[in-house]
Chains A and B, each alone.
Chain A
């Protein structure tokens, strides 16, 4: 392979989560920042190692809930008090206790939709193409292999050093990730 054309990053493959986590920690200490791990199931330690602690999904969920709640109740109020007020069985127009169930359901609906689509948006999914799939054997990421990818965008990234660095953490193999 020629080093002339740019690559996405350098990918190390491990056969157990422990090595992956150690490698990731080491990479972080080594000053690498632009990197990511790929695992068949959530490995929290790895996430921490590559510095993915916080996310804004919860905030989006709250906003969705509030919108749903307010929307639901105001719809009921407008419909029964303003738009078409009518005597139904002698009940008051603004029969708030009767409006609670729908309000609640709307809140839950808003929250759930916001959460799911918020999460997907933040993850940039759906995503038809991504370079990491070019790595041979990456399909193991959804089976029993664990990957650490240091991206070429990282200022400390250099073909030789990064490869050496990764190989020093007994991976199964290390390979370049072409665009």
Chain B
């Protein structure tokens, strides 16, 4: 059935006509039933159980890796001197970056009155939360003594009388990431309230009604409530917009503040933010495409959405490409021996192949998005997104490892080899992320019902 709809919806409209935001023939009722149906359905589809089972296995692997890490020490990873940061920080930056698209879609596109955002913002926000949860694991686990780092990085009075050292970018990270998570959670949370009310009212069994009733907090769609609700929602959007830009800027300062050649550059913040949105939209597509296919949501997540995401990916991808070229240009133009050394290390050093794969993934592959055909063919988009995702991970690897492995004194130059524990942790978080996402799809409306209603033609007030 899913494929049938796929065919009739995903067929390209005649030239000049853009695909609709919502498929034809949807009414307030059908919207409610179709989306609410996923949650309230009696029978959970089999593929859901298969995916969740696989993710639980990966989640278990993650926990094994963490347990051994806490038992033995961070030495089970590949980190060393000079390369003191490895997979952990690479993954941290990668996951944080993925998170960004969610907030961008929900906040910035809202401010720009981009109606099409409504059918993807809900799960994009969820994606943000889950990605930030993965990201949050790494800075803690990569420390030598996580049980202390867990609270010494927060301004809590201690008997020692010492406080966090606020000049350190890592402290900025702690504040930025925790704030980011909190705000994203609130944004996502209040967006859910009216939909919980919907589920409450259309629930078949008492238990379900009770549960969603509590989550809905007694929401009844009063005009006065809607009025304050809308204001609050807009304000949050206004707050989240500078926040999302600040978060990855702060993350980039972890590097920019250091003296290490390859890190010590002023244009990191915009470079990182662009990269983050780049990878974020790649992840949105990687989630949206299977989701709309598996649940037959092509009416609500139409080709229009995919195309728009693809266009944003292309745009940010070009910014990223520009950043790479500037990085190299400045390195050469500065004529500083360390910067030149860095350029040489990236192009001819022991890790040069990483750098060239990165260039392919993040600069060459995305150029295919210029083609309308590519933008409008889900499965090709999915593959491009995967390539981009890989590329963005490599970008962080290049920044972290290829800068540290050969910094100032040749005597201390060295290599970094990751261990199986590094890999288990990375793949484990992917499993954890997917697990959370599919639980979310199963138990919460993955598309904002109330907002979608507002988009329907019949929801307009006629004079």
A residues adjacent to B (C-beta < 8 A)? 16-18, 21, 36-43, 45-47, 50, 52-53, 55, 57-58, 61, 72, 75-76, 79-80, 83-84, 88-89, 91, 95, 98-99, 101-102, 104-106, 108-109, 111-113, 115-116, 118-120, 122-123, 125-130, 132-133, 138-144
Contact = CB atoms under 8 A, between A and B. Distances in A.
Contacts of B57: none
A98 B29 CA distance: 54
Contacts of B214: 126
A47 B230 CA distance: 11
A57 B242 contact: no
Contact of B231 (A57, A75, A105): A57
A101 B228 contact: no
B222 A37 contact: yes
B461 A42 contact: no
B167 A91 contact: yes
Interface stretch (B193-201, B315-323, B329-337): B193-201
Contacts of A128: 218
Contact of B461 (A45, A120, A129): A45
A32 to B, nearest CB: 14
Main secondary structure of the interface of B (DSSP, over half): helix
A126 B218 contact: yes
B440 interface: no
Given A83-B163, A84-B162, A112-B186, A143 B28 contact: yes
Contact of A98 (B28, B166, B225): B166
Contacts of A120: 217
Nearest to B36: A143
B202 A139 contact: yes
B164 interface: yes
A109 B32 contact: no
Given A21-B461, A84-B163, A116-B236, A41 B454 contact: yes
Interface of B: 27-29, 32, 155, 161-167, 171-172, 175-176, 179, 182-183, 186-187, 189-190, 193-194, 197-198, 200-202, 214, 217-232, 235-236, 239-240, 242-243, 246, 250, 253, 450-451, 453-454, 458-462
30 contacts: A36-B222, A37-B222, A38-B223, A41-B453, A42-B229, A42-B454, A46-B223, A53-B227, A57-B235, A58-B231, A61-B232, A76-B166, A83-B163, A101-B175, A101-B250, A102-B166, A105-B176, A108-B183, A108-B246, A112-B186, A119-B229, A123-B225, A126-B217, A132-B220, A133-B220, A141-B220, A142-B202, A143-B32, A144-B27, A144-B32
B28 A144 contact: yes
A155 B225 CA distance: 23
B461 A113 contact: no
A55 B313 CA distance: 38
A41 B228 contact: no
Given A76-B166, A143-B198, A115 B230 contact: no
